[in-house]
């Protein structure tokens, strides 16, 4: 049922999702979703938990890269995750669908994802960086990555600039145009 919901959201967005649709797509009775999820928020919470767990894995393992390669790799991985896991991505950052304070497990996984970003920002800036600089760098990295990912998955980017032949090259080019790769 979770897979059916993610697939539906990937194609149509989360707003029209119904338990009846999930049941039909999963090939189960229309009452089956109620045995696993109390309501739509329950299924969105489960999608977000699964998504953030995969997201954390996608953002890790760039520790041995140089500063600019680390920032560009994170940007690339963030965008790749959004494109490859569109159904999850469309739910994970929607506060109207996922109420973090009502789900401690979801909050912990989302905090872990942000912690990975903060850790990379700290490594990029070096040991002498202030907490404010680290927060600002992590926020800038997140804003660029999330904005670009959203424009590629749901926005009008290719309508405005034309078809993107090589997404990885494009993402790296965008990253190189910003101060993320050259903080000085």
Residue 119 sits in a domain whose CATH number is 1.10.357
> Residue 43: inside a domain, yes or no?
no
Q: Is residue 10 part of a domain?
A: no
Does residue 4 lie in a domain region? no
Asked whether residue 35 is assigned to any structural domain, the reply reads no
For residue 37, the 8-state DSSP code is -
CA neighbor of 23 nearest in space, from 10, 37, 44 = 37
pLDDT of residue 46 exceeding 70, the answer is: yes
Flag whether 33 is in a domain: no
Q: Is residue 45 part of a domain?
A: no
Is residue 17 one of the residues assigned to a domain?
no
Q: What's the pTM value of the predicted model, to 2 decimals?
A: 0.89
Number of domains, the chain: 1
The pLDDT value given to residue 79: 96
> In this predicted structure, what is the pLDDT of residue 181?
56
Full DSSP string of 60-116: -S-TTS-HHHHHHHHHHHHHHHHHHTHHHHHHHT-TTT--GGG-HHHHHHHHHHHHH
The pLDDT score that the predictor gives to residue 38 is 85
> How confident is the model at residue 2, as a pLDDT?
92
Report the percentage of the chain scoring pLDDT > 70: 93
Q: Which range of residues forms the domain containing residue 110? A: 53-176
Q: Is residue 163 part of a domain?
A: yes
């Amino acid at each position: 049922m979770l897979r059916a919901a993610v697939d539906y959201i990937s194609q149509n967005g989360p707003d029209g999702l119904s338990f009846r649709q999930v049941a039909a797509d999963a090939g189960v009775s229309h009452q089956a979703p109620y045995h696993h999820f109390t309501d739509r928020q329950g299924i969105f919470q489960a999608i977000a938990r699964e998504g953030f767990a995969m997201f954390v894995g996608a953002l890790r393992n760039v520790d041995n890269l140089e500063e600019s390669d680390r920032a560009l790799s994170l940007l690339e991985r963030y965008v790749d995750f959004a494109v490859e896991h569109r159904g999850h991505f469309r739910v994970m950052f929607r506060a109207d669908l996922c109420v973090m304070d009502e789900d401690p497990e979801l909050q912990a996984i989302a905090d872990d994802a942000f912690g990975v970003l903060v850790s990379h920002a700290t490594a990029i800036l070096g040991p002498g960086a202030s907490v404010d600089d680290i927060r600002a760098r992590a926020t800038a990295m997140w804003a660029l990555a999330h904005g670009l990912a959203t424009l590629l998955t749901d926005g009008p980017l290719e309508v405005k600039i034309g078809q993107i032949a090589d997404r990885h090259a494009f993402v790296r080019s965008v990253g190189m145009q910003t101060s993320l790769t050259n903080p000085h």
